[in-house]
């Protein structure tokens, strides 16, 4: 048995290592390891819960807002703070923007080059590319001149011997199967999306002052609404938000989704591998901010063994984290799981000293804990949410899925795959982009009725808090279900646990030896060449890894890295 190691996996956030046991070219077992330790849970202890969001938000710079929202929701839950509707709507508009931004950036800038070969794009005929593009969409930029310009730009780079952002690809790998024109079309959209993404995040700057890491507040939003003010959220700024929402919808409908379909035609076999577990979990995205209201934008749902008919509601007591194969120590013993309310964060590195050849996968081998639901290993994220919408018949997703799969001549089971996951991400982007129109209209209606309320300060003073309080903040983040669990004692944070999407998906094995979604999804993949493990990248990238989120842990010993 040969062990293929991919470390670091690039075009992701953070430090991920994959070790795969390969026999006769086929992966029999795979191991996923987060190799960097960092984090926030420990430094949050003892702090004022009203400022926790600002620290928690720094867990990640990719899903820039979600840890702030989860943290705020957890603290508001603990302190029973009711948020004004306008603040919830503004938060939703920011969440929607993040989803559209994050998913488009993932598809083009982190995942597309697993399928698109920029070197081949140089051989394309711009005229034919334009004709091809118009078959898929009415996107106005799709002229021969536009595609010719893109080609010239890339040719210039190649002539200088600099592929720049396109260097270091496996460009001779026979798994690249798109015709030159399609490579050029997708390459052009890669470049287009770079500009587009800088623009649409203005929604965050309008409501949160900046991006990444906008400003928030426990109890509401810190952006005043006042149609008579130049500096507050006024009609001009809302008009800008409206046009950005329109632009997002246009890009998703005319570029992102058509590109997914165009690409899918040439990689049909990737709709039949790369699933892994068959168990899917959505902890839920509340329609307002509190899960206690029982109103859901994405309802909490557990789907076991692909069974979309008998899906289950979620019991939050059943979320538990194992550390049997993780570099931590539990007071109850390393084989027992802990619920996040009782969660512990104590480092215990037992791995080899670098440089090392292999991890000890029989022992501890990752900085990620291993969250499990009812003891099951589950997948979270876009596919889990699209299956939830499908099972519960929400947002017309059955029809959307039906149209796309019919166009590609694929069965429903094609969703349970590497490209199914990638397609699901696109489909949910449309759901979010579309929902933003509704949230925006409701906000505008409130403002027209002179309701400018964005903040509830009733419980701002710690003297008004219970001495001992616990809160849960739920947030469906782009990569999946995020939950923050806070315990507040005497006005300070006593314990803080974040259970994060990539921690669910990329975790190591648990006490029973059950692999995570990443680990299971690679089994059965045939590697054309172990030195160019493109197949591993395709499936792992389809999850959109974020290891910074996943290992949100902080080294306890002071370590001087550099004096500036």
Q: Stretches 131-139, 230-238, 248-256, 471-479: which one binds ligand NFE (CB under 6 A)?
A: 471-479
The smaller minimum CB distance to ligand NFE, of residues 142 and 502, is found at 502
Smallest gap, in angstroms, from Cβ of residue 158 to ligand NFE? Answer: 33
Site for Mg ion in 52-111 (CB under 5 A): none
Smallest gap, in angstroms, from Cβ of residue 405 to ligand NFE? Answer: 26
Contact yes or no for 49/79 (Cβ under 8 A): yes
Pairing of strands 16-23, 26-34: antiparallel
The smaller minimum CB distance to Mg ion, of residues 104 and 498, is found at 498
Long-range CB contacts (within 8 A, 24+) of 356-361? 357/5, 358/3, 358/5, 358/19, 359/17, 359/19, 359/31, 359/33, 361/19, 361/31, 361/325
Smallest gap, in angstroms, from Cβ of residue 497 to Mg ion? Answer: 5
Q: Is 106 in the site for ligand NFE (CB under 6 A)?
A: no
Q: Stretches 200-208, 262-270, 293-301, 544-552: which one binds ligand NFE (CB under 6 A)?
A: 544-552
Choose the one of ligand NFE, Mg ion, none that binds residue 548, judging by a C-beta under 5 to 8 angstroms depending on kind. ligand NFE
- Strand boundaries in 240-283, DSSP class E: 280-282
**DSSP state letters, 177-192:** ---HHHHHHHHHHHHH
Cα torsion angle, 41, 43, 48, 54, sign: negative
Lay out the sheet containing 468-477: strands in order across. Answer: 468-477, 480-489, 492-499
Instruction: Select from 9, 12, 13, 298 the one that contacts ligand NFE (CB under 6 A).
Output: 13
Smallest gap, in angstroms, from Cβ of residue 37 to Mg ion? Answer: 12
Q: Is 253 helix (H, G, I), strand (E, B) or coil?
A: helix
Instruction: Select from 260, 474, 550, 553 the one that contacts ligand NFE (CB under 6 A).
Output: 550
Beta bridge partners of 20: 4, 30
The smaller minimum CB distance to ligand NFE, of residues 440 and 504, is found at 504
CA 28 to chain centroid, in Å, comes to 27
Task: List the one residue out of 247, 311, 257 whose CA is nearest residue 279.
Answer: 311
Site for Mg ion in 204-243 (CB under 5 A): none
Instruction: Select from 187, 262, 498, 527 the one that contacts Mg ion (CB under 5 A).
Output: 498
The smaller minimum CB distance to Mg ion, of residues 272 and 554, is found at 554
- Burial pattern 419-433, b for ≥16 Cβ within 10 A else e, equals bbbbbbbbbbbbbbb
Pairwise CA distance, residues 108 & 174, whole Å:
21
Count of residues engaged in binding ligand NFE, rule: CB under 6 A = 16
The smaller minimum CB distance to ligand NFE, of residues 81 and 549, is found at 549
Q: Stretches 122-130, 244-252, 490-498, 516-524: which one binds Mg ion (CB under 5 A)?
A: 490-498
Instruction: Select from 500, 520, 522, 551 the one that contacts ligand NFE (CB under 6 A).
Output: 500
Q: Stretches 89-97, 258-266, 455-463, 495-503: which one binds Mg ion (CB under 5 A)?
A: 495-503
Q: Is 298 in the site for ligand NFE (CB under 6 A)?
A: no
Smallest gap, in angstroms, from Cβ of residue 285 to ligand NFE? Answer: 12
Pairwise CA distance, residues 296 & 300, whole Å:
8
Pairwise CA distance, residues 368 & 34, whole Å:
6
Choose the one of Mg ion, ligand NFE, none that binds residue 509, judging by a C-beta under 5 to 8 angstroms depending on kind. none
The smaller minimum CB distance to Mg ion, of residues 59 and 433, is found at 59
Pairwise CA distance, residues 92 & 150, whole Å:
36
The smaller minimum CB distance to Mg ion, of residues 257 and 482, is found at 482
Contact yes or no for 324/334 (Cβ under 8 A): yes
Cα torsion angle, 287, 289, 293, 294, sign: positive
Q: Is 471 helix (H, G, I), strand (E, B) or coil?
A: strand
Instruction: Select from 133, 150, 482, 522 the one that contacts ligand NFE (CB under 6 A).
Output: 482
Site for Mg ion in 121-180 (CB under 5 A): none
Instruction: Select from 478, 508, 515, 533 the one that contacts ligand NFE (CB under 6 A).
Output: 478
Smallest gap, in angstroms, from Cβ of residue 553 to Mg ion? Answer: 7
Q: Stretches 61-69, 132-140, 222-230, 423-431: which one binds ligand NFE (CB under 6 A)?
A: 61-69
Q: Interior CA angle at 84 toward 79 and 87, to 5°? A: 105
> What is the distance in angstroms between the CA of the first residue and the CA of the last residue of the chain?
48
Choose the one of ligand NFE, Mg ion, none that binds residue 62, judging by a C-beta under 5 to 8 angstroms depending on kind. ligand NFE
Beta bridge partners of 182: none
Choose the one of ligand NFE, Mg ion, none that binds residue 66, judging by a C-beta under 5 to 8 angstroms depending on kind. ligand NFE
Task: List the one residue out of 198, 200, 203 whose CA is nearest residue 237.
Answer: 203
Kindly give the interhelix angle for 235-251 and 418-448, rounded to the nearest 10 degrees: 160
Q: Stretches 315-323, 343-351, 435-443, 498-506: which one binds ligand NFE (CB under 6 A)?
A: 498-506
Q: Stretches 122-130, 333-341, 478-486, 533-541: which one binds ligand NFE (CB under 6 A)?
A: 478-486
Q: Is 549 in the site for ligand NFE (CB under 6 A)?
A: yes
**DSSP state letters, 479-517:** TEEEEEEEEEETTEEEEEEEE-HHHHHH----TT----H
The smaller minimum CB distance to ligand NFE, of residues 237 and 541, is found at 541
Q: Is 477 in the site for ligand NFE (CB under 6 A)?
A: yes
**DSSP state letters, 97-161:** HHHHHHHHHIIIIIIGGGT--HHHHTT--HHHHHHHHHHH---TT--HHHHHHHHHHHHHHHHTT
Q: Is 502 in the site for ligand NFE (CB under 6 A)?
A: yes
Show the site string, 404-443: x = touches Mg ion by CB under 5 A, - = not: ----------------------------------------
Choose the one of ligand NFE, Mg ion, none that binds residue 60, judging by a C-beta under 5 to 8 angstroms depending on kind. ligand NFE
Smallest gap, in angstroms, from Cβ of residue 103 to Mg ion? Answer: 24
Contact yes or no for 82/52 (Cβ under 8 A): no
SS (H, E, C) 369-404: CEEEECCECCECCHHHHHHHHHHHCCCCHHHHHHHH
Q: Is 66 in the site for ligand NFE (CB under 6 A)?
A: yes
Q: Interior CA angle at 435 toward 432 and 441, to 5°? A: 145
Please report, as ranges, the residues that interact with ligand NFE according to CB under 6 A. 13, 60, 62-63, 66, 477-479, 482, 500-502, 546, 548-550
Please report, as ranges, the residues that interact with Mg ion according to CB under 5 A. 498
């Amino acid at each position: 048995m040969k062990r293929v190691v991919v470390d670091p996996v690039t075009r992701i956030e953070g430090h991920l290592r994959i070790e795969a046991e390969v026999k006769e070219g086929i992966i029999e077992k795979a191991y996923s390891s987060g190799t960097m330790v960092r984090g926030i849970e420990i430094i949050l202890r003892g702090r004022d819960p009203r400022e926790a969001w600002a620290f928690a938000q720094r867990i990640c710079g990719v899903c820039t807002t979600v840890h702030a929202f989860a943290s705020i929701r957890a603290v508001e839950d603990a302190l029973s703070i009711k948020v004004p509707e306008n603040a919830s709507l503004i938060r939703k508009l920011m969440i929607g923007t993040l989803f559209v931004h994050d998913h488009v950036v993932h598809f083009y800038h982190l995942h597309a080059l697993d399928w698109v070969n920029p070197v081949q794009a140089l051989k394309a005929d711009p005229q034919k590319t334009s004709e091809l593009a118009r078959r898929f969409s009415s996107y106005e930029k799709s002229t021969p001149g536009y595609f010719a310009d893109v080609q010239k730009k890339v040719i210039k780079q190649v002539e200088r011997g600099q592929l720049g952002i396109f260097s270091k690809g496996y460009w001779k790998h026979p798994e690249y199967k798109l015709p030159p024109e399609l490579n050029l079309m997708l390459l052009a959209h890669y470049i287009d999306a770079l500009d587009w993404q800088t623009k649409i995040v203005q929604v965050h700057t309008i409501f949160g002052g900046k991006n990444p890491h906008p400003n928030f507040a426990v109890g509401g939003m810190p952006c005043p609404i006042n149609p008579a003010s130049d500096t507050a959220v006024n009609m001009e700024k809302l008009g800008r938000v409206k046009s950005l929402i329109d632009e997002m919808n246009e890009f998703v409908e005319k570029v992102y989704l058509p590109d997914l379909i165009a690409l899918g035609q040439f990689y049909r076999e990737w709709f039949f591998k790369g699933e892994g577990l068959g168990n899917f979990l959505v902890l839920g995205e509340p329609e307002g901010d509190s899960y206690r209201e029982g109103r859901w934008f994405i309802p909490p749902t557990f789907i076991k063994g692909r069974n979309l008919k008998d899906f289950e509601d979620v019991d939050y007591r059943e979320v538990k984290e194992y550390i049997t194969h993780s570099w931590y120590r539990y007071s109850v013993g390393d084989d027992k799981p802990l619920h996040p309310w009782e969660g512990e964060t104590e480092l215990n590195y037992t791995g080899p000293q670098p440089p090392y050849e292999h991890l000890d996968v029989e022992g501890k081998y990752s900085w990620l804990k291993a969250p499990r639901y009812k003891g099951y290993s589950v997948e979270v994220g876009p596919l889990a949410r699209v299956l939830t919408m499908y099972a519960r018949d929400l947002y017309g997703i059955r029809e959307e899925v039906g149209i796309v799969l019919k166009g590609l001549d694929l069965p429903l089971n094609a969703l349970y795959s590497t490209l199914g996951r990638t397609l699901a991400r696109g489909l949910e982007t449309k759901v979010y982009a579309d929902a933003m129109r509704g949230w925006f209209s409701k906000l505008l209606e409130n403002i027209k009725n002179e309701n400018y309320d964005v903040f509830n300060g009733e419980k701002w003073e710690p003297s008004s808090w219970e001495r001992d309080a616990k809160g849960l903040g739920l947030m469906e983040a782009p990569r999946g279900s995020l939950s923050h669990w806070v315990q507040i004692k005497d006005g300070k944070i006593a314990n803080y646990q974040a259970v994060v999407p990539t921690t669910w998906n990329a975790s190591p094995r648990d006490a029973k030896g059950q692999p995570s979604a990443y680990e299971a999804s690679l089994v059965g993949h045939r590697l054309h060449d172990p030195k160019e493990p493109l197949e591993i990248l395709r499936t792992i990238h389809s999850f959109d890894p974020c290891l910074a989120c996943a290992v949100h842990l902080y080294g306890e010993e002071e370590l001087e890295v550099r004096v500036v």
